[in-house]
Amino acid sequence: MGSNISKLWAARIATTLAVGLSVLAGTVQGQSFPTKQITIVVPTAAGGANDAMARLVAQGLSQRLGKPVIVENKAGANGAIASEYVAQAAPDGHVILFGYIATHAINPALQKLRYDPVADFEPIGLVAASPTLLVVNNNVKAKNMQELVALMKAKPGSFSYASAGNGTAPHFAAELLKLSTGVDMLHVPYKGSAPAIMDTIGGTTQLMLPSLFTAYPQVKGGKLRALGLVGDKRSAVMPDVPTLAEQGIKNVSMSQWYGLFAPAKTPKAVVDRLNKELNATLAEKNVVKKIEEQGADVETSSPEQMKSLVQRELTRWRGVVAAAKIKAD
C-alpha cells in the first residue's frame, strides 16, 4: 500500500516537473526570439495597399525586436501562393504571413486549397480593418445607390463590375449586392486590384467594390465616385458617404481585415511575443495616423480572438458561396 502511494506521488511530482520545465523552456524561447531576420510574406504585389501596411508593421516590429524585419511579396492565386509558402515554412516565427480576408476566409470558402486556413496556421493578431467601398466610373449617371439599382434594373446585364479576381473580396461583395437587390451585372475578374480599378476609371467596367484602403486615393483624386460604404458605419475619412444600409440596402456588409499568421506549431511563447510587439507597434500614434489616413482602422486582438474571427468568417462566406452559387475558375 505504502509503495503504491509513493509511486503515485513520484508520478505526480514527475508530471509537475515536466510541465514546469516545458513552461520555462517556452518562456526562455519567447525571450530569446528572434535569433535572425524575420520575413513578412505579403500575398499581393509591391506598391499596393496590403504591401504598404505590411511595411509599416515590419518597421515597427524591427525596432521592437532588435532584428531586421523585411517584406517579401509573393503575389498570385488570390493569396494562395504566399499562404502555402508560409504554411510550409519552419514553425519558429521567422517567416510569417500578412494574411487577410481573402487568404483565410473567402478563397478557402470558395475552393479547396493546398493549405488549411485554420489547421496550418497560428494566428498572431489583427492589424487593421477597412470597410468596402462601392465606387463607380464618373460617367455613370447615378448619384446614390437607389439611382444605381434603378439603372441596373432598367437595363439588366448592361452593367459590369470589376474585381481583383475570382474569389476575392470585391467579387464576394458584389455577389452580396446582387443577392440583396436582385440586380443583374457581369463579373469581370482581373489579376489584382490595380488593373481592376484602372479599367473602372477608364470605363471598361462601370463599378467596383474594393476596400476603402485601396480606393480612397482614386476617390480623393476625383477619378472615381463613391456611392456607399459596404459596412456598419461611416468612415472618418469620408464622412459624407453613407452606408448601403442607410440607403435602404440591407444585409450587405463586408469588413476587409488584415492580420499576421505564423506556421502551425510555432511555439506559443513566440506567437505571444510577436502579438505583444505587434500590438505595441499598432498603439503608436504615428502608425495609427498613417493607417487611418488611407481609410483603414487599426484593429488589435489576441491570437485566440483572431482564430475565432477566421472560423466565423469561413462559416459566413461558405454560406454566401452556396447561396450565390459562386464557382471557382
CATH of domain 131-247: 3.40.190.10
Phi/psi of residue 23, nearest 5 degrees: -60, -45
Q: What is the chain's pLDDT, residue by residue, as a tens digit (329 residues)?
A: 555 656 666 656 655 555 444 444 445 556 789 999 999 999 988 888 889 999 999 999 999 999 999 999 999 888 999 999 999 999 999 999 999 999 999 999 999 999 999 999 999 999 999 999 999 999 999 999 999 999 999 999 899 999 988 888 999 999 999 999 999 999 999 988 889 999 999 999 999 999 998 899 999 999 999 999 998 889 988 999 999 999 999 889 898 999 999 999 999 999 999 999 999 999 999 999 999 988 899 999 999 999 999 999 999 999 999 988 888 86
Residue 143 C-alpha cell reads as 448619384
Domains in the chain: boundaries? 29-128+258-324, 131-247
Give the other-Cβ count within 10 Å of 39's Cβ.
18
**Residue 155 confidence (pLDDT):** 92
**Residue 207 confidence (pLDDT):** 98
Nearest alpha-carbon partner for 200 in 230, 232, 226: 226
**Residue 12 confidence (pLDDT):** 65
Residue 234 C-alpha cell reads as 461611416
**Residue 238 confidence (pLDDT):** 92
Query: With contact defined as beta carbons under 8 Å apart, do 93 and 34 qualify?
Result: yes
Phi/psi of residue 283, nearest 5 degrees: -90, -10
CATH of domain 29-128+258-324: 3.40.190.150
Q: Which residue has the cell 453613407?
A: 242
Task: Give the C-alpha separation, 143 to 244, whole Å.
Answer: 13
Nearest alpha-carbon partner for 54 in 69, 36, 35: 69
Residue 136 pairs in a beta bridge with 207, 225
Task: Give the C-alpha separation, 193 to 198, whole Å.
Answer: 9
**Residue 307 confidence (pLDDT):** 97
pTM: 0.85
Task: Give the C-alpha separation, 209 to 145, whole Å.
Answer: 13
